[in-house]
Amino acid sequence: MEAAVIQEVILPPLPPIPLPPPPKEVRPPEAKAPRVEAPLPFVPAAEVVQTVPTVAPTVAASPVPPQTPAVITPMTAPAPADSRVTHIASLEAEYILKVRAMLHSTKRYPTGRQASQQRPQGKVKLWFTLSRHGSLLDVGVLESSNSNLLDDAAIATVRRGSYEPFPPDTWTGEEQHKFSAEISFTPASS
């Protein structure tokens, strides 16, 4: 019979692995202002005098202190995007005002026997879609006046209208735009 002796071997702990040093902070080089030489003063030709250099004994001249260069900073113009956005918004608002004025001028109170008997009054809120070229594509009622006569008269008002094309740069990317309008009807006093 053979016997094997197994002895436990304890290994010493491994030394810690050194971590790499943290990266050094790298700063970008500071931007230096461009060196701009100051212009020479203008001397009229009448004041220019030619001189002949004379030979003088050499004297150690004191160093001339360097002049600091003039720093020119560019003038910053106002951001053109802000003024452009404001301009486009005002063009869109002007167009909407023109459309409302046109709708007001083409509005007609309903006529006929039923209108003269009922004499309905109220407001109709409509939506309508115009193409970029000013043609009416669709129209519908958002909020009824509770009178079919007035609702139909409001739709007829929008259909009767003549619309200008959109001003350039307004509603960019849209070939059509949806508008809303409220049209009020009151019967003429007798």
Segment 69-97, tens digit of pLDDT? 444 444 445 555 678 888 989 999 999 99
Handedness of CA 102, 103, 108, 109 (dihedral sign): negative
Please give the domain boundaries of the chain with CATH numbers for all domains: 89-185 (3.30.2420.10)
The number of C-alpha atoms within 13 Å of 16 and in the hemisphere containing its C-beta is 3
Amino acid occupying residue 41: P
Please count the other Cβ atoms lying within 10 Å of the Cβ belonging to residue 187. Answer: 13
Segment 1-59, tens digit of pLDDT? 565 555 565 666 766 666 667 667 666 666 665 555 555 555 444 444 444 444 445 55
